[in-house]
Structure 1
Amino acid sequence: MLFCTGSLLFVLFLGGAKAQGNFWETEQETCTRHGRTGSCEFYGIPCLEKKFNCLVGGFPVGYGYRFCSKIETHYEEFDADGKAWIDSVRVCLTKALIPIYKSKSYTCPTLKTFGLNSYRGCFQNSKGGGGLCKVIKTNKQPIINVWGASGTQGEDSSTFLEHILAVVLKCPCNYGQSGIENNVGAANDIYSKVLEISTTYWTKAPSLAIQSDCETKALNGDCAFYDCLEKRYPCGRTKFVQREGQPLCEQIKKKAGVFTPEGQTWITKFTKCMTRSLLPAYKAESMSCRHIHNFGFRTQYQCFIDNGICDFVENRQNEFGLWYVDDIVSDWRFHEELSTILCRCHKFEGGHRYKLKFSSVATAWLKQKAKVIDQSSAADDQCTGQGGKCQDYSVRTCLAGYEDNKCGGNALRKCCLPCGSSCESTHQSYASGDSACSSAGGQCKMDSNLCHGEYQTGLCGGPAGRKCCISG
């Protein structure tokens, strides 16, 4: 037996020596097959890791193999559609890297950049099980279990769930699907998980003590507040404060003259909403740059809605001004999230509404016109008959609040209660008791409105139903 084994090894050695010119080709064929089938082996020592030798912290082992293994661990938690989708994602991710595996021009850093960027496209374009917008309704928790990473590989571990979030946020733009409200709920839950992860990991102590005038700047909507936040928690030019928050605040105020007088009032409200909402991050005793980044997007999304972005862009001058100014913001998430809101505003122009279109130049989803799927029906009479208006409550804040079961169409359409000049004056008077909410970084509104975060009581003026919505 020992002799046979030794003889076999000797024969294999001779065979390998004779075929050494084809040995690498055989290995490459095997790895290519792993890549085409979505096998985790493609990332490991036999293939991608062997080729690039990036070690534990590199992309092949630290990200690719790690998350591929998590898919296998949680695979049985998915239903049939979920399994079909995640199978297509797994294959998409490995197939995208086959040209890189065969290339000789990539290094570990460039491999990591390409590998991380490939996830967003695969989450968006993988149609197994009907695509992510369908699958997320019944597979939210398994997806979070796979992509809800710990801090093992640093802040980049958070990017995968953020990419899923960006796709899910766009799902409600397809008004033809059933169960659309589940997409909104899933997006909120995923956002909460993203913020939880970035709160738990990568936190650091502040670099500067709280400055006495910084809270005043935040409450007044002063763009200089972003300098306060950056100095207390330096995150650099690639994160929210310097990449998006501050330049948008400064440019939209600088170019205020291109907006209507009503638009200029909107600018004041929006910029003040942003700085107030970020105040808790400034005051925190420890914070991660990843949390500030994601929290900034969350508050920005909420501030667009709370300050009536849908009504704001109904004026063509304001619409032009907004896109003219916002072009200075280069982060893809900003354009995707703003466009997602606009596509759901039900803005009619010659039988069209806003939908999303990918711009390869701006590498962002921008708005375009698309045919309207009219959600109105005879069921709306219950709302319109009392002077109300049926609208998508997830992108519009209603001053007097919403009532359920009085509108037709999908479940996101609710009845915005009528509010005339007397009602508006009454609600404005409530604002005198809102200072505690403002200092907490929140916005006061009737609690039948959607809060992208959580409501807290006792911080707002007015009736008991008027509560403080705090993002996060």
Structure 2
Amino acid sequence: MNSLFYTGCFLSMLGLGQAWWIFNSNEEQLEPQTDIEQSCLDAGNDASCAVYGCIQRRFPCLPHSFVIDHGENYCRRYQNHFDLFDAAGQDWITRSQACMSRTMADMYRLPSTTCHALNSEGWDRMSACYVREGFCSIAWDNREALWQVFQVHDLRHTIRMWREIVEIAIGCGEQQLGRFSIWALEKIAVFRDK
């Protein structure tokens, strides 16, 4: 079958998960709850996962927050699964996490923001960093490692993340996207049948 068919099925299936992820769309301006701390700026420059906690303390957005639920969560998961990636995948993790930390440090410096803006910008910046740092060149060879990072058992977190990964993969070209989508559908089907 046509890889676009499988891709469409995959995206449709992930679209069902939207109910699992509800951003706080409250547009009320958040004023900083903390002053800018040098240690937080350093965390952004050092590609440290700590930058996410700094943002959350400065602009608290709970219960659903890209910063904690996705940014910090997956930053730590990449660290915990680093050895599962091949050399190119490890290099990609290092570069993409450094990109994310730098862009998140920019968000940390904001004079005010909204939860919706933090969530929306967080996803946009993550996608841009993944693509800029070469996701397309490492995704297929590191698919099993990515599967370990984005485990399906935690649907509230992973449905949105897998949707984002597929949207990023769309830019990789139809052949790679189709191959990746078929593989992911098979993995998810096995999980759902358990």
- CA shift at 1:237, angstroms? 4.2
- CA shift at 1:332, angstroms? 2.9
What residue number does 1:341 align with? 168
**Inter-CA distance 353–266: structure 2 relative to 1 (3 Å threshold):** same
How far does the alpha carbon of each residue in 1:403-446 deviate from its partner, in whole angstroms, 9 at most, with x for none?
A: xxxxxxxxxxxxxxxxxxxxxxxxxxxxxxxxxxxxxxxxxxxx
One of 136, 144, 169 as aligned partner of 1:320:
144
Alpha-carbon distance between aligned partners in 2 of 1:298 and 1:265, rounded to the nearest angstrom: 21
What residue number does 2:9 align with? none
Alpha-carbon distance between aligned partners in 2 of 1:266 and 1:325, rounded to the nearest angstrom: 14
Alpha-carbon distance between aligned partners in 2 of 1:255 and 1:334, rounded to the nearest angstrom: 17
One of 112, 124, 132 as aligned partner of 1:306:
132
What residue number does 1:282 align with? 108
Work out whether 1:247 is the aligned partner of 2:73: yes
Question: 1:276 aligns to what SS in structure 2?
Answer: helix
Contact persistence 1:297–1:334 (CA under 8 A): no
Between 1 and 2, higher relative CO (CA 8 Å, sep ≥ 6) is seen in 2
Structure with the largest fraction of helix: 2
How far does the alpha carbon of each residue in 1:112-160 deviate from its partner, in whole angstroms, 9 at most, with x for none?
A: xxxxxxxx76xxxxxxxxxxxxxxxxxxxxxxxxxxxxxxxxx86x5xx
- CA shift at 1:330, angstroms? 1.3
**Inter-CA distance 361–206: structure 2 relative to 1 (3 Å threshold):** farther
Contact persistence 1:343–1:353 (CA under 8 A): no
Compute the TM-score of the two structures, normalised by the length of structure 2. Answer: 0.74
- CA shift at 1:341, angstroms? 2.1
**Inter-CA distance 237–252: structure 2 relative to 1 (3 Å threshold):** farther
* Structural mapping, 1:356-367, within 5 Å: none
Amino acid at match of 2:132: D
What residue number does 2:8 align with? none
* Structural mapping, 1:61-140, within 5 Å: none
- CA shift at 1:224, angstroms? 0.9
Q: Which runs of 4+ in 1 moved over 4 A?
A: 356-363
Amino acid at match of 1:248: Y
What residue number does 2:4 align with? none
Contact persistence 1:269–1:307 (CA under 8 A): yes
In the alignment, structure 2 segments of 5+ residues that lack a partner are 1-14, 17-22
What residue number does 2:41 align with? 215
Contact persistence 2:140–2:180 (CA under 8 A): no
- CA shift at 1:353, angstroms? 3.1
- CA shift at 1:348, angstroms? 4.6
The two structures, once aligned, show a CA RMSD in angstroms of: 2.8
What residue number does 1:432 align with? none
One of 320, 332, 338 as aligned partner of 2:159:
332
What residue number does 2:53 align with? 227
Contact persistence 1:266–1:312 (CA under 8 A): yes
One of 58, 62, 68 as aligned partner of 1:236:
62
Question: 1:228 aligns to what SS in structure 2?
Answer: helix
- CA shift at 1:355, angstroms? 3.7
Contact persistence 1:225–1:275 (CA under 8 A): yes
- CA shift at 1:263, angstroms? 1.4
**Inter-CA distance 296–246: structure 2 relative to 1 (3 Å threshold):** same
> Identical aligned pairs, as a percentage?
25
Contact persistence 1:241–1:293 (CA under 8 A): yes
- CA shift at 1:299, angstroms? 0.4
Alpha-carbon distance between aligned partners in 1 of 2:106 and 2:35, rounded to the nearest angstrom: 14
- CA shift at 1:230, angstroms? 0.9
